[in-house]
């Protein structure tokens, strides 16, 4: 085993060296993922704005009938999120799940709603954006179109005929308060109850989809009843980096809007560089493209070298392992059967506790049934990871092959896989395996 260890050490050294060589050239991209099931002050990747406050593990974006009226509250992820790359043209998929509650206080009239939004980095609550504007628009921007650069999924509780359908609705909006697609809903009938939502974006099909469920039912994309889909090329609507978060507001007819949990995942690179001087932005962009074209082939070459090295590593490791066990194989190959570890796992029901017959200083014995032999067996499992495991295994093989009378106990076979050593004997119903082997 020493030789195998030295081989592994040498191979690991080569792997580390290759990793260090490749790291400066190949950019490291971290998938963006966060999952907040309980909001508290210790969470440092969420920003709060306006009326938003933490309350008993949730975030109240608005506080209901607490003055003043026309309240607005925002929360957002604290880091910019990259959704596309102008150099490569690459876009990314994303998925977000969240749970929210709207409390209408059992009133028959209430307003105005809550929305998930994607907007330019640095976007803050616009002035005079309470009430119908959902904390995202105002009279100057409600219909401004492309210059807004905002996409939202709204849960609207008040009908404003100038830009809403004639119903309370869930909608997908682009750059305005008018929904591209929408579905009717009744927030009053779900007042105070959690509403679960999943929003997905497929960058290949440009499909933005929304799924929702009520009354603690899990949300699923298989539920086509409570769902909306819309084709939007986000790269044509939004900047490369965006802020993502939630906004809610009400006017004179109050309601409380709360975010209970929030999960987001994508393969976006959220590593950002220092700001570029606007006058030099074109030069820097051009230089970046040149560097990309130069370094990309080098990175590919190094990846090929790394892949070949990994292949060589695997071959060498198998060779080392074979050399380490050859002397053991010679002791017993003529004496017994060789079993796979999977066979013995099945025979002992995964080395279940209820199959355990006994335990010694370096091993445990389990009762099993080998269907291939149609017989009960006793599997002696030598503790994996012990520095003595190979020695115990080898010594036992020598005892079996040289010292034990054949009529005392029948040795059936063995297994050495994945660092484990196992010996298989006939099952002796009237005594332990060690009693028969060693007379104790």
H or E element: which one contains 151? strand 151-156
Q: How far apart are CA 416 and CA 378, in angstroms?
A: 16
The reported pLDDT for the residue numbered 302 is 85
The reported pLDDT for the residue numbered 206 is 96
Architecture of the 30-270 domain: Sandwich (2.60)
Q: How far apart are CA 393 and CA 435, in angstroms?
A: 18
Say whether pLDDT at 17 is over 80: no
Tens-place pLDDT, residues 20-76 = 444 444 444 446 899 999 999 999 999 999 999 999 999 999 987 777 789 999 999
212-230: average pLDDT: 87
297-325: average pLDDT: 72
Tens-place pLDDT, residues 193-211 = 999 999 999 999 999 999 9
Closest Cα partner for 189 from 114, 258, 106? 106
Burial of 104 (0-12, 13-18, 19+ CB in 10 A): buried
Report angle CA 353, 358, 359 to the nearest 5 degrees.
Answer: 100
The reported pLDDT for the residue numbered 145 is 79
341-365: average pLDDT: 88
Q: 2 vs 178, 320, 416, CA distance in Å?
A: 72, 10, 17
Q: How far apart are CA 135 and CA 115, in angstroms?
A: 9
The dihedral region occupied by 159, where left means phi > 0, alpha psi between -120 and 50, and beta the remainder, is beta
Residues 6+ positions from 214 with CB-CB distance below 8 Å: 190, 193, 195, 196, 226
Tens-place pLDDT, residues 116-148 = 999 999 999 999 999 999 999 999 898 877 889
How high does pLDDT run on average in the chain? 81
The reported pLDDT for the residue numbered 292 is 60
Q: How far apart are CA 56 and CA 44, in angstroms?
A: 17
Say whether pLDDT at 12 is over 70: no
Residue with tokens 């309601």: 255
Categorize the per-residue pLDDT at 287 as very low, low, confident or very high, splitting at 50, 70 and 90. Answer: low
272-291: average pLDDT: 46
Tens-place pLDDT, residues 399-429 = 665 555 545 567 888 888 877 888 888 888 7
Domain 337-438 has CATH 3.30.200.20: yes
Q: CB-side exposure of 360: number of CA atoms within 13 Å?
A: 16
Q: How far apart are CA 343 and CA 280, in angstroms?
A: 67
240-257: average pLDDT: 94
Closest Cα partner for 253 from 115, 126, 64? 64
Q: Which of 4-8, 144-148, 253-257 has the highest mean pLDDT?
A: 253-257
Question: Under a CB-based contact definition with an 8 Å cutoff, are residues 194 and 58 in contact?
Answer: no
């Amino acid at each position: 085993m020493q030789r195998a260890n030295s081989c592994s050490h040498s191979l690991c050294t080569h792997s580390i060296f290759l990793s260090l060589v490749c790291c400066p050239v190949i950019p490291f991209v971290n998938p963006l993922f966060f999952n907040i099931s309980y909001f508290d002050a210790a969470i440092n990747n969420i920003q709060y704005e306006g009326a938003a406050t933490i309350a008993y593990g949730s975030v109240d974006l608005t506080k209901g009938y607490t003055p003043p009226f026309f309240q607005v509250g925002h929360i957002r992820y604290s880091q910019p999120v990259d959704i596309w790359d102008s150099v490569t043209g690459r876009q990314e998929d994303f998925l977000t799940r969240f749970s929210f509650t709207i409390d209408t206080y059992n009133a028959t009239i209430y307003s105005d709603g809550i929305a998930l939004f994607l907007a330019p980095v640095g976007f803050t609550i616009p002035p005079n954006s309470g009430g119908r504007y959902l904390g995202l628009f105002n009279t100057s921007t409600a219909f401004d179109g492309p210059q807004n650069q905002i996409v939202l999924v709204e849960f609207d509780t008040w009908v404003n005929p100038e830009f809403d359908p004639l119903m309370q609705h869930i909608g997908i909006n682009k750059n305005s308060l008018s929904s591209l697609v929408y579905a009717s809903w009744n927030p009053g009938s779900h007042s105070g109850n959690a509403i679960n939502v999943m929003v997905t974006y497929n960058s290949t099909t440009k499909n933005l989809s929304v799924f929702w469920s009520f009354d603690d039912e899990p949300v699923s994309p298989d539920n086509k009843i409570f769902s909306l889909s819309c084709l939007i090329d986000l790269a044509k609507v939004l900047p490369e980096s965006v802020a993502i978060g939630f906004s809610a507001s009400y006017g004179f007819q109050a309601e409380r809007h709360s975010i209970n949990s929030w999960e987001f995942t994508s393969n976006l690179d959220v590593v950002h560089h220092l700001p570029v001087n606007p006058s030099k932005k074109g030069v820097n962009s051009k230089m970046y493209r040149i560097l990309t074209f130069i370094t990309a082939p080098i990175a590919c070459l190094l990846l090929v070298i790394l892949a070949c090295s990994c292949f060589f590593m695997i071959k060498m490791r198998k060779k080392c392992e074979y050399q380490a066990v050859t002397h053991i194989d010679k002791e017993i190959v003529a004496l017994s059967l060789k079993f796979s570890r999977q066979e013995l796992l099945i025979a002992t029901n995964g080395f279940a506790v209820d199959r355990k017959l006994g335990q010694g200083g370096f091993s445990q014995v389990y009762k099993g049934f080998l269907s291939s032999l149609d017989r009960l067996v006793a599997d002696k499992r030598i503790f994996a990871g012990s520095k003595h495991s190979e020695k115990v295994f080898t010594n036992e093989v020598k005892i079996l092959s040289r010292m034990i009378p054949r009529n005392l106990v029948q040795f059936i076979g063995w297994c050495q896989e994945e660092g484990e050593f196992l010996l298989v004997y006939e099952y002796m119903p009237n005594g332990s395996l060690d009693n028969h082997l060693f007379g104790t």
